[in-house]
């Protein structure tokens, strides 16, 4: 499958397939909530998509390098620059920032300001658990309809900085950036595809913004 296929079931979503992690779980979760989502390896397919998803697990540098080596970094940058609705998940969310202490010499996409840092405090690293979100904005968006303190699932050792774009944090040795929104760019440090009904609602909210 080379790109999102319109079948009348929902918006065409390009899940960037750059060979890192279980990308198909993100694709299946999007299909479950009504999207015509497909894994894409052809950069040209991104131009035909209604929205783009960048998942990611593992090390920041490995993900950034794989995105570049597959030719999908340019497609991601094009989508971000063109204002195509874009969702980064876990390390895919971290890649939206300028860089990471995990891989100091590897640049991120740089559409959000700041650098990703290792989790701090008297906590076990990685955070691998369900945790409660604390909203920073009351406005609708990723967390619309989810109540004041939804529970979602995290697996990570590094986290983006808390900034103006941060719409929710979790408490793990201090406030940790858990979700962000800036214009058409949205991101989650947690895994919506592993977060049950709350995660499905997050993906539905993102699709509703397209």
Residue 205 backbone dihedrals phi, psi, to 5 degrees: -60, -40
pLDDT the model gives residue 9:
65
CATH code: domain of residue 148: 3.40.50.880
Domain contains 148: yes
Domain contains 116: yes
Residue 45 backbone dihedrals phi, psi, to 5 degrees: -65, -25
Q: How many CB atoms lie within 10 A of CB 55?
A: 29
Residue 147 Ramachandran class (φ > 0 left, ψ -120 to 50 alpha, else beta):
left
Domain contains 5: no
Domain contains 173: yes
Active-site pick, 27, 165, 170, 191: 191
pLDDT the model gives residue 8:
44
Q: How many CB atoms lie within 10 A of CB 82?
A: 12
Q: Which residues of the chain have pLDDT under 50?
A: 1-8
Q: Known catalytic residue: 170?
A: no
What is the domain extent for residue 22?
12-208
Residues 87, 186 contacting (CB under 8 angstroms): yes
Domain contains 188: yes
Burial of 119 (0-12, 13-18, 19+ CB in 10 A): middle
Active-site pick, 90, 165, 170, 181: 90
Residue 5 backbone dihedrals phi, psi, to 5 degrees: -105, 125
Domain contains 7: no
120-131: pLDDT as tens digits: 999 999 999 999
141-157: pLDDT as tens digits: 999 999 889 999 999 99
Residue 121 Ramachandran class (φ > 0 left, ψ -120 to 50 alpha, else beta):
left
pLDDT the model gives residue 137:
80
Domain contains 2: no
Report the alpha-carbon distance of residue 97 to residue 77 in Å, rounded: 12
Number of domains in the chain: 1
Its pTM stands at: 0.94
Q: Known catalytic residue: 156?
A: no
Side-chain half-sphere of 12: how many Cα atoms within 13 Å?
A: 15
Domain contains 104: yes
């Amino acid at each position: 499958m080379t790109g999102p296929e319109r079948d009348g079931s929902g918006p065409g979503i390009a899940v960037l397939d750059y060979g890192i992690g279980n990308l198909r779980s993100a694709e299946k979760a999007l299909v479950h909530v009504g999207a015509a989502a497909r894994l894409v390896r052809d950069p040209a397919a991104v131009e035909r998509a209604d929205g783009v998803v960048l998942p990611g697990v593992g090390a920041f540098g490995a993900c950034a390098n794989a995105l570049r080596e597959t030719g999908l970094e340019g497609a991601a940058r094009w989508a971000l620059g063109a204002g195509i609705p874009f969702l980064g998940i876990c390390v895919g969310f971290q890649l939206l920032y300028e860089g990471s202490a995990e891989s100091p010499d590897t640049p991120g996409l740089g559409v959000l300001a700041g650098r990703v840092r290792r989790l701090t405090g008297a906590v076990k690293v990685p955070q691998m658990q369900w945790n409660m979100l604390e909203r920073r904005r009351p406005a609708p968006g990723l967390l619309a309809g989810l109540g004041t303190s939804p529970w979602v699932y995290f697996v990570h050792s590094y986290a983006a900085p808390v900034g103006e774009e941060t719409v929710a944090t979790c408490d793990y040795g201090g406030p940790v950036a858990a979700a962000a929104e800036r214009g058409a760019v949205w991101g989650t440090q947690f895994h919506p595809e592993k977060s049950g009904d709350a995660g499905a609602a997050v993906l539905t909210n993102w699709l509703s913004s397209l």
